């Protein structure tokens, strides 16, 4: 009894046995159609076994400036990035890459510095493909991607590409988050956050952000206009759903109000019934008049005592606000 000769190669397609085929056993390369599919699948299995189970070499690349990598630098290797300086680009020459090749990158977590990985290939990473051509990796993150049919497909890792810009609250510092406290930060240090907020959020100049007694402090600012930007300051504030024309927040329901728009405190308009006419002699002489019927009376104009606190508020718990980057 013979056995199939397995070859560690990735078969791009599995043959479909047709009705017109003569079902014949034996060597698939010599007309044994019945064994052709099994041969192709065996080849794939051996290829995957070799690539997933063998111990890959580890290569460490320090990123102080822009660097270039070739296929020999990444094939069958776990590339460890020591990103010593943010904003640098790692260009990967993928010329000659074949289907089934897996590339892996891990960024050391000593800091949160970010580097851009350019492969010259579209990368299928998130459902909305925000990072199809601009993939940034921060210290502490890793990912693996498989090449197939002209694209790279993310298959594993802990790269945080979802929910960037999301506001979180916590008792402890939140992972891959910045405190939402109005701080100026470098665009190169947090490129993913700047990339998305500059595309979707309402950005004001830093002069506008700092003016108006905090009326613009819920927005991101453009910082110095080139290399920095400012975070919103959410400290001490509640979050309210943007009205966006629904008509509940009547003071802020036009299209001119964007995510991050500030609103001062207020009390809803209302009236009180006041009957405060007193017979003459009952109070200090602070003015008087006649009611038309000949009866003398006095007006009382005393102020009420102050009651309450510094603001109108519901019961609440204070937690530190953070923004995902």
Q: Is the pLDDT of residue 291 over 60?
A: no
State the pLDDT at residue 233.
96
What pLDDT, on the 0 to 100 scale, is given for residue 285?
Answer: 47
State pLDDT tens for residues 40-61.
888 888 777 776 655 578 899 9
- Considering the chain, what is the average pLDDT of its residues? 86
pLDDT value for 319: 95
> Does residue 154 register a pLDDT over 80?
yes
| Higher-pLDDT residue of 140, 50 | 140
pLDDT at 210 over 70: yes
Confidence of residue 302 (pLDDT cuts 50, 70, 90): low
What is residue 286's predicted lDDT score, i.e. its pLDDT?
47
When mean pLDDT is compared across 11-20, 162-171, 173-182, the lowest value belongs to 11-20
First-last CA distance in the chain: 60
Tell whether the torsion through CA atoms of 12, 16, 22 and 27 is positive or negative.
positive
Residue range 5-34: mean pLDDT, rounded: 81
**Mean of the pLDDT values across residues 99-128?**
90
For 214-266, write each residue's pLDDT tens digit. 899 999 999 999 999 999 999 999 988 888 888 888 888 777 888 888 888 88
Q: How confident is the model at residue 116 (pLDDT cuts 50, 70, 90)?
A: very high
The answer on pLDDT for 298 being more than 60 is no
Q: What's the rounded mean pLDDT across residues 191-214?
A: 94
In percent, how much of the chain has pLDDT > 90? 49
The residue extents of the domains of the chain are: 1-45, 57-157, 163-268+317-325
State the average pLDDT over residues 14-38: 81
Highest-confidence range of 27-41, 147-161, 216-230, 311-325, by mean pLDDT? 216-230
Please give the average per-residue pLDDT across 112-116, as a whole number.
Answer: 95
User: If you average pLDDT over residues 188-198, what whole number do you get?
Assistant: 96
Query: 57-157 is classed in which CATH architecture?
Result: Sandwich (2.60)
Between residues 262 and 89, the one the model is more confident about: 89
pLDDT band for position 100 (cuts 50, 70, 90): confident
Q: Confidence band (pLDDT; 50, 70, 90) for 289?
A: low
Residue 175 neighbours by CB under 8 Å, 6+ apart: 160
- Please give the pLDDT value at position 323: 97
């Amino acid at each position: 009894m013979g056995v199939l000769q397995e070859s560690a190669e990735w078969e791009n397609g599995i043959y479909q046995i047709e009705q017109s085929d003569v079902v014949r056993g034996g060597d698939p390369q010599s007309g044994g159609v019945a064994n052709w599919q099994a041969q192709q699948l065996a080849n794939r299995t051996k290829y995957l076994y070799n690539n997933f189970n063998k111990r890959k070499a580890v290569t460490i690349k320090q990123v102080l400036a822009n660097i270039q990598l070739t296929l020999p630098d990444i094939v069958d290797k776990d590339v460890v990035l020591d990103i010593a300086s943010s904003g640098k680009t790692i260009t990967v020459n993928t010329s000659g890459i074949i289907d089934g090749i897996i590339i892996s990158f891990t960024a050391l977590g000593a800091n949160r510095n970010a580097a851009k990985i350019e492969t010259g290939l579209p990368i299928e990473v998130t459902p909305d493909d925000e990072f199809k051509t601009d993939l940034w990796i921060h210290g502490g993150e890793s990912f693996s991607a498989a090449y197939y049919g002209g694209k790279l497909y993310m298959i594993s890792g802990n790269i945080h590409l979802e929910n960037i810009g999301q506001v979180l609250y916590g008792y402890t510092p939140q992972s891959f988050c910045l405190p939402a406290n109005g701080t100026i930060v470098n665009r190169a240090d947090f490129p993913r956050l700047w990339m998305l907020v500059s595309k979707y959020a309402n950005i004001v100049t830093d002069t506008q952000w700092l003016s108006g007694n905090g009326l613009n402090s819920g927005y991101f600012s453009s910082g110095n206009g080139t290399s920095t930007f400012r975070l919103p300051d959410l400290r001490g504030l509640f979050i309210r759903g943007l009205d966006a024309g629904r008509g509940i927040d009547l003071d802020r329901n036009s299209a001119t109000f964007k995510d991050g728009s500030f609103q001062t405190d207020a009390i809803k308009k209302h009236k009180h019934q006041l009957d405060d006419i007193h017979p003459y002699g009952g109070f200090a002489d602070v003015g008087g008049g006649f009611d038309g019927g000949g009866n003398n009376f006095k007006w009382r104009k005393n102020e009420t005592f102050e009651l309450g606190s510094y603001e109108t508020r519901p019961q609440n718990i204070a937690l530190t606000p953070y923004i995902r980057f």
